[in-house]
């Protein structure tokens, strides 16, 4: 099945490796587990976060006391820290949201899902219904729990931001776009999937929701790892790709089908499970005809959600633009490939032929 040979990218320590699903199955499952969790399993770590920002320790402790968390249970310290960051240190709001998270995770069996991912050392493609979901809507994910290098230059000359400056609080993300605090990218390509009746029969809304619960838990594991390793918060960039070979009306039909049939149940299930992990929501390859539709959609969105959304037309869906919102190594393959395809060829030296190193 050619669909099973689509590219994947998985972070192992500081390295991002590429290959196909067949290659991935040949890898040691243990090597695909984030390094921090390999240590946690081996050493029985209680999840303590070595916060660099001195505000987090006492603020997290206040929430733990208010929620009657056992003294020895430090598993959710990173979660409480991110809730404090996201809700601007509002203690009462954080207590409310954390209690909701505890209840929702218990209702949906997230403890068992997390244990399944860690104990079985599951990679993304090992999650239930991965292949069938990928046929309906192709998905890409990339993550790393290592600190980014001071600067990074892409083959096309794109340079991503360095780590936080001295003026920044080391415990939280800066306002706006901060690629240095982004630890991963998750992309859904609405116009590239097969939404025929035969494909839809293989994955029900319940199957899709179960898969996304695994994905959401997996993404949070990366955030936990990053906080425990570095004492600061790491976030995700979410990419929604609207490119479609059949044109705008087809992608609109496909996106509406996916949202109505699959994403609405996912939103209901995932609501309140974890803190908002996404720094920016990038809607890429946006057709010009989408503008009137967006004006209607955005009118209904809460202001805090609109602030996180970035629309990029096809001409702006480039490595240069997306690197403003995530490290270059996490860019979706079609963006990186597009950059390589449009790169200027080297000039032909006198008396010789063009050669690319």
Q: pLDDT per residue over 175-197, tens digit each? A: 445 788 899 999 988 878 776 65
Q: Which of 233-247, 258-272, 304-318 has the lowest mean pLDDT?
A: 258-272
Structural domain contains residue 143: yes
Q: Which of 22-31, 121-130, 212-221, 260-269 has the lowest mean pLDDT?
A: 22-31
Q: What is the CATH number of the domain that holds 318?
A: 3.40.525.10
Query: Domain of 160?
Result: 2-34+120-341
Structural domain contains residue 30: yes
Strands 182-189 and 139-143: antiparallel
Structural domain contains residue 328: yes
* Most confident segment among 23-32, 57-66, 148-157: 57-66
User: Residue 340: which pLDDT band, with cuts at 50, 70 and 90?
Assistant: low
Residue 264: the pLDDT is: 78
Tokens found for residue 330:
């996490």
Q: What is the pLDDT of residues 306-337, one digit of tens each?
A: 778 899 999 999 999 999 999 999 999 999 88
> What residues contact 297, with CB distance under 8 A and at least 6 apart?
none
Structural domain contains residue 150: yes
The reported pTM is 0.74
Structural domain contains residue 351: no
Structural contact between residues 291 and 299, judged by C-beta atoms closer than 8 angstroms: no
Structural domain contains residue 280: yes
User: Residue 168: which pLDDT band, with cuts at 50, 70 and 90?
Assistant: very low
Structural domain contains residue 316: yes
Q: What is the DSSP letter of 141?
A: E
Tokens found for residue 3:
């669909």
Number of domains in the chain: 1
Residue 193: the pLDDT is: 76
Q: Rounded to an integer, what distance in angstroms lies between the CA atom of residue 357 and that of residue 97?
A: 53
Residue 327: the pLDDT is: 92
Structural domain contains residue 300: yes
Residue 181, classified by CB atoms within 10 Å of its CB into exposed (0-12), middle (13-18) or buried (19+), is: buried
């Amino acid at each position: 099945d050619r669909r099973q040979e689509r590219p994947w990218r998985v972070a192992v320590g500081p390295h991002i490796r590429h290959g196909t699903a067949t290659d991935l199955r040949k890898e040691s499952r243990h090597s695909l587990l984030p390094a921090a969790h390999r240590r946690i399993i081996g050493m029985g770590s209680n999840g303590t976060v070595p916060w660099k920002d001195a505000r987090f320790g006492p603020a997290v402790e206040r929430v733990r006391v208010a929620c009657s968390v056992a003294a020895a249970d430090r598993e959710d310290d990173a979660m409480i820290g991110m809730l404090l960051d996201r809700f601007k240190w509002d203690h009462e709001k954080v207590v409310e949201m954390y209690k909701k998270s505890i209840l929702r995770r218990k209702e949906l069996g997230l403890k068992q899902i997390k244990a399944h991912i860690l104990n079985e050392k599951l990679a993304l493609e090992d999650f239930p219904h991965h292949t069938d979901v990928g046929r309906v809507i192709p998905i890409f994910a990339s993550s790393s729990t290592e600190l980014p290098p001071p600067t990074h230059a892409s083959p096309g000359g794109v340079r991503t931001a360095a780590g936080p400056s001295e003026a920044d609080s080391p415990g939280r993300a800066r306002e706006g776009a901060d690629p240095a605090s982004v630890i991963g990218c998750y992309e859904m390509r609405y116009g590239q999937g097969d939404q025929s009746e035969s494909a839809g029969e293989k994955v029900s809304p319940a199957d899709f929701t179960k898969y996304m619960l695994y994905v959401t838990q997996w993404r949070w594991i990366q955030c936990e790892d990053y906080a425990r390793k570095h004492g600061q918060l790491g976030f995700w960039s979410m990419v929604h790709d609207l490119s479609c070979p059949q044109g705008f009306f087809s992608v609109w039909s496909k996106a509406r089908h996916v949202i109505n049939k699959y994403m609405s149940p996912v939103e209901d299930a995932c609501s309140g499970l974890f803190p908002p992990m996404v720094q920016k929501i990038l809607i890429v390859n946006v057709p010009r005809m989408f503008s009137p539709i967006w004006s209607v959609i955005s009118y209904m969105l809460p202001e805090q959600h609109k602030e996180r959304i970035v629309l990029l037309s096809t001409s702006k869906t480039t490595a240069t633009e997306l690197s403003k919102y995530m490290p270059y190594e996490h860019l979706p393959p079609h963006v990186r490939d597009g950059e390589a395809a449009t790169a200027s060829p080297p000039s032909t030296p006198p008396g010789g032929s063009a050669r690319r190193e």
